[in-house]
Amino acid sequence: MVKLYLDEDMSSRVAQALRSKGFDVVSSHEVGNDGLSDEEELRIATKEGRHLIKTLFPAFPASSEKAIMLIPGTLPKVLELFA
């Protein structure tokens, strides 16, 4: 299963709910990474083998394979792809 890293723009409750469904997920809130730049968070997520999940649009290069942008309200549908 894919490993996920939730950006600070997502509630840590989302991470808890995903874990209850069997997902391997951490949030920036839980690991003390709030306030980091998008690039720093992507670097951390990539180093840990996780996909960075965001709902706010960052300044990532279009070639980034480890960042997943979500339109609010689409998380359940996106997670179906990983199940």
* For range 54-78, the mean pLDDT: 60
pTM: 0.72
Structure tokens at 61: 């290069």
Does residue 35 come out as left (phi exceeding 0), alpha (psi in the -120 to 50 range) or beta? left
pLDDT band of 33, cuts 50, 70, 90? very high
Check if the beta carbon of residue 22 is closer than 8 Å to that of residue 1. yes
The model's pLDDT over 36-61, given as tens digits with 9 standing for 90+, comes to 988 888 889 889 998 888 876 655 55
